Amino acid sequence: MSAAPVILRCRELALDLGAPRIMGILNVTDDSFFDGGRHLAPAAARERARHMVAEGADVLDIGGQSTRPGHVEIPEAEELARVVPVVRALAAEFPGLPLSIDTYRPAVAAAALAAGAHILNDVHGLQGPGGVELARLAARTGAAVVVMHNDPSLRRIPADPDPLPSVLTWLERSLALAAAAGVPADRLMVDPGIGFGKTPGQNLALLARLGELHALGCPLLLGVSRKSVIGHALPELTAPADRLEPTLALTALAVRQGVQLHRVHDVLVNRRAARMAAVLGAGGGRFFNV
């Protein structure tokens, strides 16, 4: 397994990835697939953030635009109104905690960075309409960038293919866009985009081979918490509320493949699962510090 950088630089902060880290999901939305609406009010969002920090979250990922299947795009002004006050409040309350803004809109990203965010999490991997502007914004501000694989054309290739070559090629293009804009390598992470533009079989194939994504030379982020890929594999689990235990299993298996950052709804239990898996050592002889 190729060695990945162990420090992610996020503006003035540094996130040590020598141990598995947990990114808590803070959905400031009304329609996210698991907890949409629960934390839409700023006070509720702040309280949820405090709870996740108390449980050991290493990063908080704040999003105001749902990207679940069938989501409706909200106006930019509404997304700004949802996330900027929350980012500003959390940056003041937790000054040493990296904050991620989950958006593909440059104006929202810029406002969140001005309010104190440190990481841009782009579900289009810098290959969406605002991707070049997002990359330049990160380069100017020193923000870290998560580039996620999200290529719907993958669904249209022949049945039962190996998705990994296509995913690697697509993510290489994202990393090249970031580099061309001047984003240093130590400010980049990649996310295989489980549940985005993929068939259930392709999602499962990627989860089984996450370690091969280290060939890209960047730390890895995985977001699989309570997602429909679990329901496809275990059809009796139709509701996201029933998918905690499989999420923990996937977190542990991902740690064994060297995944460094885990984006989850349930911080404490995923942190415990990740630490236990890390004690046993990641695949290829690579061990985390716990």
**Any idea which residues carry the catalytic annotation?**
227, 263
Work out the angle at residue 204's Cα, subtended by the Cα atoms of residues 175 and 98, and round it to the nearest 5 degrees: 45
Rounded Cα distance between 213 and 200, Å, is 19
Of residues 152, 67, 155, 49, the one with CA closest to residue 105: 67
Rounded Cα distance between 290 and 274, Å, is 10
Q: What are the tokens at 155? A: 């669904």
Q: How many CB atoms lie within 10 A of CB 54?
A: 10
Of residues 235, 170, 161, 238, the one with CA closest to residue 205: 161
Contact 106, 137 (CB under 8 A): yes
Instruction: Return the DSSP state at 220.
Output: B
Of residues 225, 220, 223, the one with CA closest to residue 260: 220
Coil vs helix vs strand at 16: strand
Contact 20, 256 (CB under 8 A): no
DSSP string of 17-66? -SS-EEEEEEE-SS--TTTTTTT-SHHHHHHHHHHHHHTT-SEEEEESS-
